[in-house]
């Protein structure tokens, strides 16, 4: 059995502003930096065997905070990136609705094969493509770490949503009924064939007392 610690990156200014980040490489804000230091301290005694992360800096920096304490390198896999939203990226939800009303309707209806308008640099992924890419990336990472007892994977909210559906056996087009917090720890168990959720949304390390301790 392998325990998987799925970790969402720390807070960014765009999280606070509710802008879609997607593949845009946004760094952590000051609160996010404090969160990841608290995260690293909380996981110091976990006995993590390997750490993997998305190549976007908000995930890489979060992973590095855990890796530094654990004395481990960070393996980078671009397959762990957030979903690419094409022209939606950089916009707030209300701005998406105003500029692309039909695509916005498809997004909110969770149409699995809808492709949103392309951005200046990237073509958007459909929900189905993103789900398949997210699951394949985690399976690839687990294959690379065969024999590891505990693996940490630092990624993004959209990927975590896909993996919750994957591990719970629910349809990925169903609306999300669970929280995904910045710098949270979400635990799965992998038996080599399938994953099961052990716990979700651990954030005790982000309580005010823990964050205040980081500043001392």
Positions annotated as catalytic residues are 9, 82
- Can you state the angle between helices 208-215 and 30-42, rounded to 10 degrees? 100
Q: How far apart are CA 194 and CA 166, in angstroms?
A: 9
Give the strands of the sheet with 50-53, arranged side by side. Answer: 74-76, 50-53, 150-155, 2-8, 185-190, 195-202
Who's near 174: CB < 8 A, 6+ residues apart? 110, 165
**Maximum separation of any 2 CA atoms in the chain, in Å:** 50
Terminal-residue alpha carbon distance, the chain: 38
Cα 100 from Cα 121, distance rounded (Å): 18
HEC string for 9-30? CCCCHHHHHCECCCCCCCCCCH
């Amino acid at each position: 059995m392998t325990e998987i610690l799925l970790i969402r990156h720390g807070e960014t200014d765009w999280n606070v502003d509710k802008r879609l980040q997607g593949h845009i490489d946004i760094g952590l804000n000051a609160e996010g930096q404090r969160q990841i230091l608290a995260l690293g301290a909380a996981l110091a005694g976990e006995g993590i065997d390997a750490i993997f992360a998305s190549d976007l800096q908000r995930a890489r920096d979060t992973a590095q905070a855990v890796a530094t304490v654990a004395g481990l390198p960070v393996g980078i896999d671009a397959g762990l990136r957030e979903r690419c939203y094409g022209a939606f990226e950089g916009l707030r939800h209300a701005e998406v609705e105003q500029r692309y009303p039909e695509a916005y309707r498809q997004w909110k209806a969770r149409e699995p094969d809808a492709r949103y308008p392309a951005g200046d640099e990237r073509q958007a992924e459909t929900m189905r493509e993103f789900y398949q890419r997210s699951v394949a990336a985690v399976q690839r990472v687990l294959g690379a770490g065969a024999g590891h007892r505990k693996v940490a994977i630092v990624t993004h909210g959209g990927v975590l949503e896909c993996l919750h559906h994957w591990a719970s056996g629910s349809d990925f087009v169903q609306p999300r009924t669970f929280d995904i917090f910045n710098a949270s720890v979400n635990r799965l168990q992998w038996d080599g064939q399938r994953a099961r959720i052990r716990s979700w949304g651990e954030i005790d390390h982000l309580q005010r007392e823990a964050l205040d301790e980081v500043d001392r």
